[in-house]
Structure 1
Amino acid sequence: MTRRTTFKLITSMVLVMLLIVLTACGNSGTNANSKQTTLDFLWFSDGKEGEVIKEIIKDYEQTNTKVKINLIEVGFKDIQTKLKTMLSGGKPPALSRVTDTGSFANQAVDLTPYVDNADQFEDQFIDSLKPYYVINDKLVAAPMDVTANGLIYNKTLFDKAGVKVPTSPDQVWTWDEYTAALKEVMDKGGARYGMVWDVTPHRWSTLLYQNGGSILTEDGTAAAINSEAGIRSMEQFKQLHQEGIMPESVWLGGENPNNLFRSGTVATHWAGNWMISNYKDITDFEWGVTYMPKGTQRSSVPGGKFLMAFKGSGYEQEAAEFIEYLTSKEVNSKYNQESLFMSPRKDSSVLNYEFGKEMFEIFADELKNSSPLAANDWSRQTIISKISTDLKNNIVEVLSDKATPQEALDRTAKLINEAIGSQ
């Protein structure tokens, strides 16, 4: 072998070795990147919480460098369809923000094995939410925020009429006292109407629970809406319209109750806590939140948004860890405080909101004094979703004198029992 040949051979060997090293380095980088887990997170926003969650995700990724959160944003009205499509197509997201836990419970990861102690984990959250996320003894989700129905009032009109609202739970009006106060604000304060009420069976059912009724029996095996309490609630609701305390234009004509309240001509708005954020820009008059009246008892209707991980994503462990992070005291408090939402955590019922702190505390008190039957009913979304529109239509039938309260609720009960039977 000549010296030139030997030199060429050595050079070739060096080049081969260098290529191997470079390839190894390249493969090492790929392997490092492949170790980063990407979690698809299906999300919708009602307000500013989309920006808040992005900040929280950024903080999480900086601490957990091997995890990347891919936030998939869709409209609220599209979230159910999008999630169902992903699940049926065999490509579930790692996790999603949901309102309807019941419809996806069978596809959800049971978080029980992933938390240190399921009982302690559940005990962090207000009791009334438990039926929403513990289904068939499985921890199928975790609450991210909580909602409540409550009473927003036009302070300017009440002051003009010289009518005082309850300022503590021990001053809560009876329904008779409440309607008398509304009539006085209409007579002396110049209010056109005493109240507007959102056109949803969810909001209407608040009256049902205050009268001691419910949509379903406690065990969920039969309808209970056509009970004496249900009939009384329907009669009472109609009477409010007949006496002109409530405008027919909302439930019968489709007029927006928010716009009516914003006009400054309505004494009270029966709405959800999210309206605090919605109404914060009102400057034409003063407004606030007071306690709802009671029937045989006090009650609101708890609801909220939940976090759910899904089977088959391949990242069940990572999704469960991220859910624990999002529902922890520090992170969940930040999320709800900055989003102007209510925290589902027992230790975060009082937050330092930039606006409406005292108002949120009244909504929180309404939740603490709610009938357990309210969550028991509305957490059963596989049933409620089938009859909700019919219930609304039957309420309208009563208001328009096309059915008696008994007839309307008997029809609703029949539909409920059929829905239960088809489960």
Structure 2
Amino acid sequence: MLRKSKMSLLFAFVLILSLFVSACGGNETGGSEDGKVELRFILNNDSPTLVEQIKEFEKENPDIKVNVEKIPLDQFFEKIETMIAGGRTPDLLYTPVLATQRYANMDLLLDVSGDLKEEKDDFLPSALVSVKNGDKVVGVPHFTDSIAVFYNKDLFEKAGVKVPESIESTWSWEEFAAAAEKVKSANNLKYGVSTGSDVSQFLPFLYQNKGTVLSEDQKSAGINSDSSIESIEFFKSLFDKGLASKESFIGSEKSDELFKQGQLPMVITFSGLINSFEKDIQGFEYGVTYLPKKEVTATKLGGANIVSFNETKHPKEAVKLMKYLTSEEKMAEFAAKEGVVPTRTSAQESVDYGAIDEGMQTIINEINSVPEFAVKDFSIPEYLGYKSILTSEMQSVILGEKSPKEAAESMEEQINNSVLKK
């Protein structure tokens, strides 16, 4: 009986000890049995290029093992929030630019300012916007992409319309609409230009007129301004004149597929589709040209950052991996294979895109001309909240259910009361 009681007490002690260790664990990675430092790295995509580079890092650093976890983007934010709430943050996170500031504002991210001090000037200022938090740099920009204009060279040649060959000779809004009309008419097409259903494809027009969704201090909505309303009016006019497809904007048509089939002379879409276009387009030549401008040249950027959390037990090794993946060589290699833009100037100069090089150089030129106010406007977690509002209201405008002014007022009210809670 006594022996049984002692065994019960021992079991209870072991159980309590194990629970205590689990509770104190926090960041789950540490050292392995063979003495290697283990890093837990969560990705939001399935990039074979990135995974291969991580394996190369392990070969060059045999004392470090990287445990890669992949979370689909549609589950990413929810699962990361759960990990944060449970004290289970990874050592490294591959995160969309818009989420970086959320984690930084929660004081969760490792300050890498000192580690990037000598290399900071090599990064695009627009790319650094999303990793700056006060005086700190809390991550490393890995790549960027944008909204771009793809065009059918054959249809443009038949219409006798030439596209701008430099960022300095970019079309005005009026010239852009005129070119769309001329190519449409000359080729007897239904449309001259189209966008997809993602409201991101409207945002370049907003920024080109120095409009913004949020105020300068980002504490209230800024969409109900004269410049923003003028942007909405011009965008609406493309649909009212029959130049752009309403069906594509509300999602019942796929503009990217119509472009591949040669039915559209121009499509405004994500620059990352260039590899898909290169692979799938048959029977005509395509190219990339510049978005039009009003007050400034602007597009909407995307991309990803690599960040580390304060709770990591291995900050030195985590930073080492961050710097490896964002070195000029590895960044250029990643960009070439994935059809995206490096955030380092040196990598932009050395990257070899092969067959898509001409189009990518146009995309790079446009990205490098984006004003910082445009990047700041969407590089915040609230973007996910206000994007759905913009989508709904802009669809109402395009369908003629609301005027641009009415939609701007509605967006302002909803953003202030629902997203920013002012």
Structure 1 length as normaliser, TM-score? 0.87
> CA 1:146–1:293 in structure 2 vs 1: closer, same or farther (change >3 Å)?
same
Q: Aligned residue for 2:380?
A: 380
Q: Aligned residue for 1:61?
A: 58
Is 2:283 the partner of 1:284? yes
Q: Aligned residue for 2:91?
A: 94
User: AA paired with 2:161?
Assistant: V
Correspondence 1:32-43 to 2 at 5 A: 33-43=33-43
Contact 2:197-2:250 at 8 Å conserved across structures: no
1:397-421 CA deviation, whole Å, 9 max, x = no partner?
A: 1122221111111111122223575
Q: Aligned residue for 1:295?
A: 294
> CA 1:82–1:114 in structure 2 vs 1: closer, same or farther (change >3 Å)?
farther
Q: Tell me the SS of whatever aligns to 1:285.
A: coil
Contact 1:157-1:190 at 8 Å conserved across structures: no
Q: Tell me the SS of whatever aligns to 2:267.
A: strand
CA distance in 2 between counterparts of 1:157 and 1:413 reads 40
| Number of matched pairs | 387
After superposing the two structures, state which structure 1 stretch, 291-300 or 100-109, moved more.
100-109
CA distance in 2 between counterparts of 1:36 and 1:259 reads 48
Shift of 1:137: 2.5
Q: Aligned residue for 1:177?
A: 175
User: AA paired with 2:344?
Assistant: R
Q: Tell me the SS of whatever aligns to 2:192.
A: strand
CA distance in 2 between counterparts of 1:279 and 1:273 reads 10
Q: Aligned residue for 1:164?
A: 162
CA distance in 1 between counterparts of 2:251 and 2:323 reads 45
Contact 1:225-1:413 at 8 Å conserved across structures: yes
Q: Aligned residue for 1:240?
A: 238
CA distance in 1 between counterparts of 2:103 and 2:197 reads 26
1:73-114 CA deviation, whole Å, 9 max, x = no partner?
A: 222222222222222222211111110212222253333366
After superposing the two structures, state which structure 1 stretch, 412-421 or 200-209, moved more.
412-421
Contact 1:196-1:268 at 8 Å conserved across structures: yes
User: AA paired with 2:347?
Assistant: S
CA distance in 2 between counterparts of 1:203 and 1:235 reads 15
> CA 1:387–1:45 in structure 2 vs 1: closer, same or farther (change >3 Å)?
same
> CA 1:272–1:252 in structure 2 vs 1: closer, same or farther (change >3 Å)?
closer
CA distance in 1 between counterparts of 2:241 and 2:116 reads 56
Shift of 1:169: 2.4
1:360-384 CA deviation, whole Å, 9 max, x = no partner?
A: 1111111122222211101122x22
CA distance in 1 between counterparts of 2:315 and 2:296 reads 42
Contact 1:124-1:346 at 8 Å conserved across structures: yes
CA distance in 2 between counterparts of 1:373 and 1:116 reads 23
Q: Aligned residue for 1:9?
A: none
Q: Tell me the SS of whatever aligns to 1:176.
A: helix
> CA 1:229–1:348 in structure 2 vs 1: closer, same or farther (change >3 Å)?
same
Contact 1:109-1:140 at 8 Å conserved across structures: yes
1:4-58 CA deviation, whole Å, 9 max, x = no partner?
A: xxxxxxxxxxxxxxxxxxxxxxxxxxx9944201111111336xxx221222112
> CA 1:193–1:218 in structure 2 vs 1: closer, same or farther (change >3 Å)?
same
Q: Aligned residue for 1:11?
A: none
Shift of 1:337: 1.7
Contact 1:300-1:371 at 8 Å conserved across structures: no
Q: Aligned residue for 1:4?
A: none
Contact 1:144-1:327 at 8 Å conserved across structures: yes
> Which one of the candidate residues 70, 73, 76 is aligned to 2:70?
73
Contact 1:152-1:287 at 8 Å conserved across structures: yes
Q: Aligned residue for 2:414?
A: 415
CA distance in 2 between counterparts of 1:51 and 1:354 reads 19
Correspondence 1:190-269 to 2 at 5 A: 190-269=188-267
Shift of 1:153: 0.4
Question: Which has more radius of gyration?
Answer: 1
> CA 1:421–1:76 in structure 2 vs 1: closer, same or farther (change >3 Å)?
closer
1:107-162 CA deviation, whole Å, 9 max, x = no partner?
A: 53333366162xx4432211112221112322222111111221110111111212
Structure 2 length as normaliser, TM-score? 0.87
CA RMSD of aligned residues (A): 1.9
CA distance in 2 between counterparts of 1:113 and 1:279 reads 39
> CA 1:165–1:113 in structure 2 vs 1: closer, same or farther (change >3 Å)?
closer
User: AA paired with 2:264?
Assistant: V
> CA 1:227–1:113 in structure 2 vs 1: closer, same or farther (change >3 Å)?
closer
Shift of 1:59: 1.6
Q: Aligned residue for 1:349?
A: 348
User: AA paired with 1:187?
Assistant: S
Q: Tell me the SS of whatever aligns to 2:332.
A: helix
CA distance in 1 between counterparts of 2:400 and 2:322 reads 49
CA distance in 2 between counterparts of 1:36 and 1:203 reads 46
CA distance in 1 between counterparts of 2:420 and 2:207 reads 24
Contact 1:190-1:265 at 8 Å conserved across structures: no
Q: Aligned residue for 1:140?
A: 138
Q: Aligned residue for 1:275?
A: 273
CA distance in 1 between counterparts of 2:32 and 2:244 reads 64
> CA 1:163–1:422 in structure 2 vs 1: closer, same or farther (change >3 Å)?
same
Q: Aligned residue for 2:151?
A: 153
Contact 1:109-1:316 at 8 Å conserved across structures: no
User: AA paired with 1:418?
Assistant: N
Q: Tell me the SS of whatever aligns to 1:102.
A: helix
